[in-house]
Amino acid sequence: MDILQIVLLAIVASILYIILKDMNKSFAHFLILITGIIIFLAIIHQISIIFQLIQSIGKQANVDGLYLETILKIIGIAYIAELGANLTKEAGLTSVSKHIELAGKIFIILLAVPIITAVIEAIVQFIPV
């Protein structure tokens, strides 16, 4: 599925949502959820290509695999948290959306601690004692 098909699907789903939200609000939200899942499934192959490219570049640059894996996990958490927050916000659950965003940020910080530590250790090695 290319970008034109994805955009057309999103436009059709949006029009259907506008029509259905007054008649059956829960079905309209379900339609948007299903549309999001279809779009995600359509782009999952491209996401795997991006991950493979990043891993290939990391190997060429002799970057430790642990750091690349952590960075990819951080990117994944950011996108998943944003998707979840947007879906709950669309459903009118703003407070739940804020909690999802907070949880995503906390998980990102937890994953980033080893990278931050390694950067600080590298900087300290350059400072003359």
Chain segment 76-120, per-residue pLDDT in tens: 899 899 989 988 888 789 999 999 999 999 999 999 998 888 889
Of 19, 65, 14, residue with least CA distance to 39: 14
Q: What is the pLDDT of residues 30-73, one digit of tens each?
A: 898 899 889 988 988 888 888 888 888 888 888 777 788 888 89
Q: What is the pTM of this model?
A: 0.69
Decide if pLDDT at 1 tops 80: no
pLDDT of residue 16: 93
Alpha-helical regions (H) of the chain: 3-23, 25-60, 65-90, 94-126
